[in-house]
Structure 1
């Protein structure tokens, strides 16, 4: 019997020693020259963006180890930076985009740490423009930065159906630097509500396209960015979207409802519809129309067009143009991180280059 236990122990040790592991360095460097008119002090702006081009600049490390029996461990450390200055984005954090570790198997993956939440996953396929310089970030800066600190996450796919959720004990520990930093660290002893956040998603993807729906609830907390300065205040988003694939690309659209319950209740809606069309494998264009309505206050309509040309498998040159129609009380800027005179329409354009590694 002792010999059998010894053989079993040695077999288990050998299995652990032979587990396959890998670490990958990856990233995107993306920048260019942008222009937009009707800035608050008059005139126009010409320069380099710090938040994003066609995609936000980043680098990261991703590691995977095969444990055997269908199980794997993984980690992700992902940094976001401003290409114009080299500064850290995401509230000045070294790994502000992601910093997590987890375990995956046949029944899905469990992730611990700062991670993308379900609001981001729900938009990945239907939003053809993505986190670009001209995008729905003009109406809601959270959407392209939908991540949660101190979070437990689950994501599983079963025959085309994807289900997922996150629960954050403190949704955002960073200070006010950057669009995704709201200084709501939470994890306060004796306060089980402050800065909590939970998100959930259900999606289906098939050969024809797919549909997705998500629900996102944030609680406020002491010292957090306005208006969520109280644990009893909430910021809720519902996303419903869909996309359809065709021979030369895809079309996607959806609806985003946001309710902020603080001292003053606010409700807004974003409707979006867009398409991607490949003329050749190396040349394609994206177009999107967006409508933003802030109840009892203002509204805006945004049109975006983008042309992409792949210089190689890893390098893409692009040009993006957009026009914003603002109602008299609206001040939604055309560019991420930009500014506009209240009630003024705005034109924006950017020419850039993106290098992936």
Structure 2
């Protein structure tokens, strides 16, 4: 179901249907996979003029994408792996991630009993740490509405390691230039190309994760540090831009602590996400604390309901918001589902968070409440 398939999608394996042999070994293969998710959305108080209807571009239940994933058995429990994944906007057919051909993932690596070492554009540990506790995933109404970076955190020029040992997963990434494409379309990252002579930390990023999964519960911790540089993104804390991270020692830091548990058809999860931005001199430019709790219940093999409650408190900008989300999904087959969902956002007097992920012309006036409703359909291959 959805809460389970979200993690499968992050691994680039959802709905793989086309399989070619890439060698003599039975474990060598290549998959072509993808998901198409779109619908119609209504957002109230999208501006001072009122609400609007639209076909959203970024996501519905999940972002639309297609990709290729391959494994070659090298012998001795060692395999070469690769993933190329392209995001696209279903409302107009354009490429996502600022027009990149493989803007979601593009990496190659070696997989062994000791874990995976990979190189390229890939998800960092903030994404993996949230994969199980956040049952809504990168939904159009979710924790990502209040911080778009959390939708699917990734970076360019990245060396990554992730391995699982008796339920304990350890992982780390280091990026030499977190947005070398210079598109400015990766949430929270901007056009930050990479290190320059004499300034090796410019535009770098590192993340680390510890995660433990048992039969019916799991816990995760992640730490994520982005360094600034020329052209780096503007930080968003209350729906409006604040300080650009232009200095090498400027930092944008996310800390994630969460957990989940399952009882039969019920799954619950929740956690805390803390974020702060500091300039080169060490002065704080922004800080928030976000708390979320959610649950998912599978009533029948075809019908599932998910809900989430999120609270964000930013004392530095004196802004706060509360978001409630309810989503129902009915599977027409193993590959195709329809859904109806709604999010209701309450902003404090000086806040202008938006209920819909990424904003995109739906930012409300300060202090306004906002309702989002979306009816959609997704199919995978």
Does the pair score TM above 0.5?
yes
Aligned pair partner of 2:191 in 183, 195, 206? 183
Conserved? CA contact 1:64–1:75, under 8 Å: yes
Match of 1:228 in 2: 245
Q: Which residue in 1 is equivalent to 2:103?
A: 96
Matched, 1:48 2:72: no
Partners of 1:175 and 1:181 within 8 A in 2: no
Q: How many residues align?
A: 342
* Residues in 1 aligned to 2:68 and 2:322: alpha-carbon distance in whole angstroms: 38
Q: Name 2:11's counterpart in structure 1.
A: none
Which residue of 2 is the match for residue 314 of structure 1? Answer: 335
CA displacement at 1:265 relative to structure 2: 1.9
Q: Hey, what's the Cα distance between the residues in 1 that align with 2:82 and 2:188?
A: 22
CA distance in 1, matches of 2:222, 2:23: 41
Q: 1:208 matched to which residue of 2?
A: 216
* Structure 1 runs not aligned, ≥5 long: 1-15
1:166 is displaced (CA, Å) by 0.2
Q: Which runs of 4+ in 1 moved over 4 A?
A: none
1:149 aligns with 2:156: yes
CA distance in 1 between counterparts of 2:176 and 2:187 reads 20
Q: Once the two structures are superposed, what CA deviation does each residue of 1:103-147 show, in whole Å capped at 9, x if it has no partner?
A: 010000100000100000000000011101101111111111300
Are 1:255 and 2:272 counterparts? Answer: yes
Aligned equivalents of 1:197, 1:184: Cα separation in 2: 10
Matched, 1:354 2:361: no
CA RMSD of aligned residues (A): 1.4
User: Conserved in 2, the CA contact under 8 Å of 1:91 and 1:180?
Assistant: no
- The DSSP-based 3-state class of the residue aligned with 1:142 is helix
Q: What are the superposed Cα offsets for residues 67-93 of structure 1, whole Å, 9 maximum, x if unpaired?
A: 110000000000111000011111221
Q: Counterparts of 1:239-254 in structure 2 under 5 Å?
A: 239-254=256-271
Q: Distance in 2 between matches of 1:145 and 1:229?
A: 23
More deviation, 180-189/144-153: 180-189
Shift of residue 181, structure 1, vs aligned partner: 5.2
- Could you tell me how far 1:148 is from its partner in structure 2? 1.2
Deviation, 1:351, is: 0.2
Partner Cα separation in structure 2 for residue 309 and residue 242 of structure 1 = 26
Partner of 1:162: 169
TM normalised by structure 2 equals 0.87
Deviation string for 1:258-303 (max 9, x for gaps)?
A: 0100265211011000000011010010000000111131100000
Which residue in the other structure is 2:137 paired with? 130
| CA apart distance, 1:17 | 6.6
Q: Is the Cα contact below 8 Å between 2:276 and 2:284 reproduced in 1? A: no
TM-score, structure 1 as length reference: 0.93
Q: Structure 2 CA distance, aligned partners of 1:18 and 1:190?
A: 48
- 2:349 aligned with 1:328, yes or no? yes
Whole-Å separation in 2 of the counterparts to 1:93 and 1:284? 34
Deviation of 1:180 after TM superposition, in Å, equals: 5.7
The 8 Å contact of residues 188 and 233 in structure 2, kept in 1 or not, is answered as no
Q: Distance in 2 between matches of 1:220 and 1:349?
A: 36
Residues 90, 179 of structure 1: 8 Å contact kept: no
What CA distance in whole angstroms lies between the structure 1 residues aligned with 2:189 and 2:287?
Answer: 22
The structure number with the bigger radius of gyration is 1
SS at match of 1:44: strand
| Corresponding position: 1:26 with 2:33 | yes
CA contact (8 A) 2:189 2:232 kept: no
Native 8 Å contact 1:285 1:305 kept in 2: yes
